[in-house]
Amino acid sequence: MAKITSFVEGFTNTGRFPYVYALLDCGHGVDVKMRATTGTCGGCGTTLSHEDGKSFERCTCGAWHTKNIDSPRPHNEADRLTKIGDVHECVKCAQNVEKIAWLRSLPKGAVHHARFDPRFSPGSYHLYRHDVTSPSGFFLMGSVPATKEFDAVLNEVRISPISPTEPA
């Protein structure tokens, strides 16, 4: 479990739609729960609401038309149900624990070579085994993030990544 320490606000690539996500004290991000979207029934004036992107349902009066729609604004702190200090389970940390256990369980010599891939922050290590049926002669076993935590485990199990230009 990790605590929410801050929020990261931004806009989609088009610059049109705002978004927000929460940063945990472990360094990973999680989705922010927002208040429900509300509106008024166009038939009888009853207040309607829906959560998490669901559509407004038909009102009990039978009308489909919803007006005066008020959607939550991600950059408005009052519209966020998630608050700083909330405790949240970090899925990435749980996945990393599983990946570390997997790395430690690999039989000695199972990994032919590893390569560092810098394309996505913080980068990753791709682990390959020898495979005579593959055109390249190798098969991707799995990948792990390039963090200090994984560097230590790779060092412990004696797997050293080769450079992208070094032949396998």
Query: Which is more confidently placed, 54 or 50?
Result: 50
* pLDDT tens per residue, range 10-24: 999 887 899 999 999
State mean pLDDT over 133-151: 91
Per-residue pLDDT at 167? 65
Per-residue pLDDT at 47? 87
* Structure tokens that stand for 33 in this block: 């729960």
**Dist. CA 6–CA 8, nearest whole Å:** 7
State mean pLDDT over 155-164: 78
Asked whether 78 and 20 are in contact (CB, 8 A), the reply is no
Asked whether 48 and 70 are in contact (CB, 8 A), the reply is no
The model's pTM is: 0.67
**Dist. CA 56–CA 41, nearest whole Å:** 10
**Dist. CA 56–CA 76, nearest whole Å:** 23
Per-residue pLDDT at 6? 95
- What is the rounded average pLDDT for all residues in the chain? 88
Could you tell me whether strands 124-130 and 18-24 are parallel, antiparallel, or unpaired per DSSP bridges?
unpaired
**Dist. CA 22–CA 146, nearest whole Å:** 22
Name the residue ranges covered by the structural domains of the chain.
2-88, 102-156
What DSSP state is assigned to residue 77? Answer: G
Per-residue pLDDT at 165? 60
Residue 124 has pLDDT above 70, yes or no: yes
Per-residue pLDDT at 53? 59
* pLDDT tens per residue, range 79-103: 999 999 999 999 989 999 999 999 9
